Chain A
Amino acid sequence: MTGAAPSTNVRPEPLLSVRGLAKAFPSSRTLLWGGTRREVRAVSDVSFDLAAGETLALVGESGSGKSTTARLVLRLLAPDRGEVRFDGRDWLSLPLSALNRARRDVGVVFQDPGSSLNPRMNVETIVGEPLAIHRIGSSAERRERVLALLDAVGLPPQAAKRRPGEFSGGQRQRIAIARALATEPKLVVLDEPVSALDVSIRAQVLNLLLELQETTPSRPAYLFIGHDLGVVKHLADRTAVMYLGRIVEEGPTRDVLGSPRHPYTALLLASRPGLARRGDPDASLRRKVAGEPASPGSPPPGCPFHPRCPRGRRLPGRFVRTLGSSLEKRAGGSPVTTLSPPPGETFPPYSRNGLAWIHLARRTS
């Protein structure tokens, strides 16, 4: 157990601090298809902290806004609202020249390695590019570092001279990881970095990430986006669960995955493919309980999860908001504080400091 200080401790200023991030995209020309024009609220209200040397996993429904959150944090997209502080600075108002210099402290692996690597460059250039841009080392040193990085992700030296198109999906994913780690960044954003890897190579890459965090002086922090809860459990100190543009539960991984509080988290855990056989009732149950995925184009009123919630559905009409000190604490957690929803909206109270959204029905039923 390294990493996360328990949330009761006083923390130093986190490396990355995100508050109230929001981003909506205008809907496409739906008029063409006879639809109505509206916006897609990809990220509605996202807040979290990430300390140096810590790993926060962002999990959640496909389309819930994980990649968009990552792109906002990376300043590849401008948010409609919200604050991002990184390394003691207001990251969103950093002038371009300072931003470009600071980018060496941030590494990123994009979700789709096939389309994010320049097909015309060879691997050596791709992996060494961040070093070249930031003028780190002589060209001989850079070359040596590239070979060391390739080796660390399980690629042979011959790979350096080939182009991305000449590799398998998993090999391309590893090229992207090597590039992200090149400058020894303080923060690495990893969007589904191991999804195309078989279990053995995946283990190797995850072990590498853990090892870097423990042994490099810069103690990189990871913002890790992933669907595989087994991987999350092994890697992340804390886990945040997203649903329809919001974090609906957050806390130490052990608690979130061990005793989930939010019904969506519970659903995710229950839906995990196990080594149960097809005829097994568990396996068919998993495929039945899922329910309709949420639509960020037309989010339901009230709690966004209520149309699928086994508890919420039993409540008559809109659920009532009752907040207060009577809310149960997580063992060892700090007192629950609440956040009021934006005007005109009702959603379950959110607790800060690494605790969960506490959904109402649990209290009222």
Chain B
Amino acid sequence: MSRAPSDASSGAPLLSVRSLAVAFGDTRVVDGVSFDVARGEVVALVGESGSGKTVTGLSLLDLVPEPGRRVAGEIVFEGRNVDALPERDLRRLRGGGIGFVFQEPGAALDPVRTIGSELIAVLRRHRGLSRAEARAEALSWLSRVALPDPEARMGDLPHRMSGGMRQRAMVALALAGGPALLVADEPTTALDVTIQAQILELLLRLRDELGLAVLLVTHDLGIVAEVADRALVMYAGEIVEEASVERLLGAPEHPYTKALLASSPDAAEGAERAKLPAIGGAVPEPGAWPRGCRFAPRCPSAFDRCTVEHPATITRPGGRVACFLAGEERS
């Protein structure tokens, strides 16, 4: 049942990112990131805190906050290079062609605007609806994201909503413009599992019915397993592994991916108050990335070569991995 991954069998991808680099001042935090997202595909972006997931997502539409900027790379959306778009088209793309669910809804929502008026504005701007149509549509979006009492919630300012309600409002805002691609940065972290399930169900339904593509940034491997077709693993600003979800969870190749899977807690097993396995050490700071493999200081399998030489990315159908060991196993 799974979709074909990136082997370009079905024409051009919806989104194509090539050699993306983003820097704050002189410090690169994202470095040489390339990936594709096809129509109707759910691609998960996972990786350690601070590895560059949010910055990668934001840079797709030049939303990286000052002094950050894209210093290299190319972003092609619906066959057009984003850099070549006039400002007007770029604005239309934000919230229209590409919807964003920001990681911290509390900070992303306008504190002095009701959620109803925000939604109505998006619907009028991107979908050209009349005020009355937009209002009806806004209400229906609030109920689709499982917000109880949508009528009453329309008039609520963000601070009057719970954390999870703000997150659902954010999802409604991102979807209301009718995007072809949804960039969802940790969209369900504030939701209990039953409501989380409803939001994921909604995304999958939009995927099936309208061909919505989703770039899903999440650290929840359970969610990745359940909804993603393909996963990208980021570490220290670069993609270290890409594979179908089955393969990534079943036979991870990169030592970082393996460590990530090993430290996943599960309520079904393990004792209470037991220490969880953590990956020793810390992610290197941007600007202090090791010369060789960036994971080398923490890698249990590191050997001499890893500290002096940066491993090249080995590509195979449907995936890739950047580790010397994976290369050796293959040859």
> Which residues of A come within 8 Å of B, CB atoms?
1-3, 25, 27-30, 32-35, 38, 59-63, 66-68, 111-115, 154-156, 158, 165-172, 174, 191-192, 195-204, 206-207, 210, 227-237, 253-254, 257, 267-269, 271-280, 283, 286-298
CA distance A50 to B197 in the complex (A): 31
| A111-B163 contact in complex given A165-B65, A290-B194, C-beta closer than 8 Å | yes
CA distance A254 to B147 in the complex (A): 31
| Contact present for A234 and B104 (CB under 8 Å) | no
| A277-B226 contact in complex given A61-B195, A192-B163, C-beta closer than 8 Å | yes
What is the distance, in angstroms, from B12's C-beta to the closest C-beta of chain A? 25
| Top 4 A-B residue pairs of the complex, sorted by shortest distance between their CB atoms | A62-B164, A170-B49, A273-B222, A114-B104
A293 contact set on B, CB distance < 8 A = 146-148, 194-195, 198
Closest to A308 in B: B194
Closest to B106 in A: A112
Question: B59: CB under 8 A from chain A?
Answer: no
CA distance A287 to B1 in the complex (A): 18
Q: Give 25 CB contacts A-B under 8 Å.
A: A1-B271, A30-B151, A35-B151, A61-B192, A112-B105, A112-B166, A169-B54, A170-B50, A192-B190, A195-B189, A196-B189, A201-B278, A202-B265, A203-B263, A207-B278, A230-B264, A231-B265, A254-B272, A268-B192, A271-B193, A273-B196, A287-B200, A287-B201, A289-B197, A293-B146
CA distance A364 to B128 in the complex (A): 55
B201 contact set on A, CB distance < 8 A = 287-288
| Contact present for A196 and B49 (CB under 8 Å) | yes
CA distance A65 to B50 in the complex (A): 31
Question: B227: CB under 8 A from chain A?
Answer: yes
| A114-B162 contact in complex given A1-B272, A169-B54, A234-B265, C-beta closer than 8 Å | no
Known: A290-B194, A295-B149. 6 other contacts (CB 8 A): A1-B272, A63-B148, A169-B54, A237-B272, A268-B193, A293-B194
Question: B279: CB under 8 A from chain A?
Answer: yes
B268 contact set on A, CB distance < 8 A = 274
Closest to B217 in A: A169
CA distance A35 to B107 in the complex (A): 28
Closest to B166 in A: A112
| Contact present for A234 and B260 (CB under 8 Å) | no
| Contact present for A27 and B152 (CB under 8 Å) | yes
What is the distance, in angstroms, from A76's C-beta to the closest C-beta of chain B? 13
Closest to A229 in B: B267
| Contact present for B148 and A257 (CB under 8 Å) | no
Question: B249: CB under 8 A from chain A?
Answer: yes
CA distance A191 to B162 in the complex (A): 12
| Contact present for A115 and B106 (CB under 8 Å) | yes
What is the distance, in angstroms, from A291's C-beta to the closest C-beta of chain B? 7
Which of B38-69 touch A at CB < 8 Å? 46-50, 53-55, 65
CA distance A206 to B270 in the complex (A): 15
| Contact present for A275 and B192 (CB under 8 Å) | no
| Contact present for A274 and B222 (CB under 8 Å) | yes
A156 contact set on B, CB distance < 8 A = 282, 285
Q: Mark B176-202, 1 if CB is under 8 A from A, else 0.
A: 000000000110011111111110110
| Contact present for B264 and A199 (CB under 8 Å) | yes
CA distance A170 to B191 in the complex (A): 17
Question: B165: CB under 8 A from chain A?
Answer: yes
Question: B274: CB under 8 A from chain A?
Answer: yes
CA distance A229 to B268 in the complex (A): 9
| Contact present for B265 and A196 (CB under 8 Å) | no
What is the distance, in angstroms, from B108's C-beta to the closest C-beta of chain A? 8
Partner of B197, one of A200, A280, A286: A286
CA distance A90 to B189 in the complex (A): 35
Partner of A234, one of B200, B276, B285: B276
Spot the interface stretch: B14-22, B153-161, B310-318: B153-161
What is the distance, in angstroms, from B263's C-beta to the closest C-beta of chain A? 5
